[in-house]
Structure 1
């Protein structure tokens, strides 16, 4: 759970003495080889604030890949883990502005303010309110919004007690407890169904874990809104529930990829698109669709858009003669069986040394199989193992490439 920050810790970290102390601690390596000596020195100089200083510096370093202003922000370890990545939060803020121009948005579980920062930076949003019951995190949010140049009203409030007439409500129920990560809908804080009930009839977006069983949410609890699955740079980050759907699709996948220049490529796939695609023999390429597309159940829709087809109607691989923009494809060299003896023979014939193994539809552990195959050549290859009908099939391919 990390260091337990107090209000006085946050006050110290925000004043000029705390800022100077943070700069001094930041100059230290704080790595495995120097941690004991560094922590001892920090404790000697800054006790009783040493724990807050070290934890803040470590959180800032961990957060740089996730949050655009991490170097100047304040966190708790748990808050950083749950915070929405800046790219994802900025995309949501832009979408809210597009759906509800000039809206006032209330983040009713604002924590350390990661979403509030991006909402405040979106010009199409006229006002931002952030609230939380955790006063320490709320104080951190005040600092974080200020250092990023934003403006928001922040207050102490229970997410299940509406305190504003904001046009749009945003919620992110906590998925961690004192005993670790939780998975049941009623174990979230606040419980998901309570959030949906509290704000029934109002535009609401609820960020949830990407593994959310949205089918059960629809079938058992009658959720009729849109489920949006979002990935960032190949990693599925979240499921977002939108209650205001109107004529929009019920399922949507949003694939975000950061380019080398810092811009973001956005791919959207929804169930409003056709999904009729053929099933046939392997083409020049096998495409492994982004996890958001798979998780949202939109593989066929994605395939239809790009003129691809499936090897098997129940398997999420696509195949075709080209690779869609932003997707990862494997150029097929040859088709094999899945018996280890045959695989070992073909890998040796192709001089395979480094081997990536992808599996869908078969009970195979890629790491264990790689150890048993023992490739010893000089060439890098990929092995895709899957099921076509009732038969296991292997495809030996060139290493995966992603179309820019």
Structure 2
């Protein structure tokens, strides 16, 4: 639920008390009613807002989105960008535009992007309560104004950042012109200005003329960002793989002359950002890997790339013979990966009825015209 101005003012003025009062609360499904009642007893009419803030802080903190003392509601916390991702965007803007560039964040919400911008920053949003939270989070000197993202209130800015809503009616939006506000309206409103537009990773970016940057954090794909050509640094597709704070950048500037061949020692499942960016071949060429099938985004090779994981290949069998192939291997727990074939991992796990003591993995995929199961040992990590 959204906060009122009075609730934001109370939350901002009592951050220490709220932290102390909620430190031992779990907000689990079993304790939620009891925790909420305890906060109402302590904070009166503001108890509901305190409970939502505490849950939002835990959610955002676990995902590296906000400092611990920020004020945010649950909706803002769910859509907000992790700080490590916002920092990479800010770094690109500094590289391309210079450190003193003026950046206008036209959907600033509670201020996530502003915390990473080192130059001049203007934040605007239609929601006055979100602006009140942003003023607390960014400090009283922050330059903030209420405005519609598609009705410019600034002139001469060096770049615009936008984060349109990615859901409507509880469903994910699947095309850029269905974003809220729609991408075409943003482009028209800011014609002639460089843009960085955050989007959900699964959108159709085929018609975008600038850079599409896919970003993952610790194995999970977090967002796509569309950059206009002036911010692209000469590339069209990019994957940023952020693991434990380390950033690995892969772009279509790398060679992609990789074909398919016989299985190597390991099967490698590329990071989701690499797959969604369409850079599987570029990644394979860089790491000395090759494909099992030129249409499927699994790779193979004799070593695991540094910082990644892979599966030691033991046997490749037709899908129908998987149960027989697993017999006698004493496998009781199985990691199942599926790509390119119609297999439900949960249904397959039940069908196999594993009873052993060893861990293993199976990759259900397609090589040529045949659906196959690649029986592997457990996942191995390489530092």
Shared fold, TM over 0.5:
yes
Structure 2, unpaired ranges of 5+: none
For residues 110-165 of structure 1, the C-alpha deviation after alignment (integer angstroms, 9 at most, x for no partner) is 0011111122xxxxx3211111110101111111123xxx9631111111122222
CA apart distance, 1:19:
4.5
Match of 1:196 in 2: 187
For residues 319-360 of structure 1, the C-alpha deviation after alignment (integer angstroms, 9 at most, x for no partner) is 111111222211111222211xx3222212211111111111
Output aligned runs, 1:3-402, within 5 Å: 3-16=1-14, 19-21=16-18, 23-67=20-64, 69-102=66-99, 103-119=101-117, 125-146=118-139, 152-164=142-154, 165-177=156-168, 179=170, 181-215=172-206, 218=207, 223-243=208-228, 244-245=230-231, 248-258=234-244, 264-339=245-320, 342-402=321-381
Does structure 2 retain, via aligned residues, the 8 Å contact 1:315–1:387?
yes
- Bigger mean CA offset, 169-178 vs 33-42: 33-42
- Bigger mean CA offset, 60-69 vs 76-85: 60-69
For residues 264-298 of structure 1, the C-alpha deviation after alignment (integer angstroms, 9 at most, x for no partner) is 22222222221111211100011100111111111
For residues 75-99 of structure 1, the C-alpha deviation after alignment (integer angstroms, 9 at most, x for no partner) is 1111111000111111111121112
Residue 271 and residue 21 in structure 1: after superposition, are their counterparts in 2 closer, same or farther (change >3 A)?
closer
The 2-side partners of 1:180 and 1:280 are apart by: 40
The 2-side partners of 1:247 and 1:64 are apart by: 32
Residue 35 and residue 359 in structure 1: after superposition, are their counterparts in 2 closer, same or farther (change >3 A)?
closer
- Bigger mean CA offset, 60-69 vs 322-331: 60-69
Runs of 4 or more, structure 1, over 6 Å off, are none
**TM-score scaled by structure 2?**
0.94
The 2-side partners of 1:151 and 1:275 are apart by: 48
**TM-score scaled by structure 1?**
0.89
Q: State the secondary structure of the residue aligned to 2:262.
A: coil
Residue 246 and residue 394 in structure 1: after superposition, are their counterparts in 2 closer, same or farther (change >3 A)?
closer
Q: State the secondary structure of the residue aligned to 1:113.
A: coil
Equivalences, count: 380
The 2-side partners of 1:229 and 1:246 are apart by: 13
